[in-house]
Amino acid sequence: MDIIKFKEKCRDIRRIIIKSKHRSKSAHLGSAFSAVELLVYLYYDHLNLDLTKKKPDRDYFILSKAHSSILIYAILFDKGIISKKEIEEVDVDGSYLGDHINSQVEGVEYSLGSLGHGLSVASGIALSSKMNGFNNKTIVLLGDGECNEGMIWEAASFAPVQKLKNLIAIIDYNKLQGFGRTSDFSDMTQFSLRWKSFGWNVREIDGHNFDEIKSALNEIRENPDKPLVIIAHTVKGKGVGFIEDKLEWHYKSLNDEQLQRALDELK
């Protein structure tokens, strides 16, 4: 994938997301937008996907910040896995597509919604792959606010001593969480040092930059037998000016006029 295609794809995905959120009136628009570049690179380039979930040695992706489900659903729609009717019926009575990631949906590995669980589950998958001698990887996307949770740090201790080199945690570091800025609840100045001191390979990147995402995922690591964490600096709501870096867009839904303005920006 080249950078031009990448940018087009990110724009398309944001357009699908914003139309869906406008229809469903559900929350978490900003949360999905901050990770578009990361997920587009993973799903269109990096991951060795098997969306039928049949090959045991496929790459695994776990959406720990599960309230960004629409981002995965938009990608699966774009790939033809989810139908037009299904994506138009997000949140409708009887749909599998709701506000949190659901493994009833084809191509989704694991259901979540309560924050803090994903790194442990991903560690278990990576451990299993290691036991089976597979040459695959497991990638998990975490929120920065989610890293308040104690369970994240239990897994953070576990993975390096188990030498889970096949595990990659990506943190969508958008500086906002549910009811405040992440730095209100945790001293983030030494965030990467924290992971380093737990034994992880750490890369800090601009999470909207194609080259930086690519190199972080592909370059040789300092400690080749240890897991990798990518701290991706992002902007919550990235891509639409009036939505960027505002807590309210964790909750608000777009009216018709705002939808139009957003789509105009995403041309």
186 contact, one of ligand TPP, another protein, none, CB 5-8 Å limit per kind: another protein
Tell me the residue ranges of DSSP E strands in 3-74. 60-63
Stretch of residues binding another protein (CB under 8 A), selected from 31-39, 77-85, 94-102, 187-195:
94-102
Residue 65 found at the interface with another protein (CB under 8 A): no
Contact pattern from residue 237 through residue 256 relative to ligand TPP, giving x for each residue in contact according to CB under 6 A and a dash for the rest:
-------------x------
Q: How many CB atoms sit inside 10 A of residue 33's CB? A: 30
172 contact, one of another protein, ligand TPP, none, CB 5-8 Å limit per kind: ligand TPP
Least Cβ distance, residue 116 to another protein (angstroms): 7
247 contact, one of another protein, ligand TPP, none, CB 5-8 Å limit per kind: another protein
Q: Considering only residues 168-197, where is the footprint of another protein by CB under 8 A?
A: 177-180, 184-186
Q: How far apart are CA 186 and CA 265, in angstroms?
A: 34
Rg of the chain over all Cα atoms, to the nearest angstrom:
18
The DSSP-derived string for 216-257 is: HHHSPPSSTTS-EEEEEE--TTTTSGGGTT-GGGGT----HH
With contact defined as beta carbons under 8 Å apart, do 231 and 188 qualify?
Answer: no
Stretch of residues binding another protein (CB under 8 A), selected from 77-85, 163-171, 219-227, 248-256:
248-256
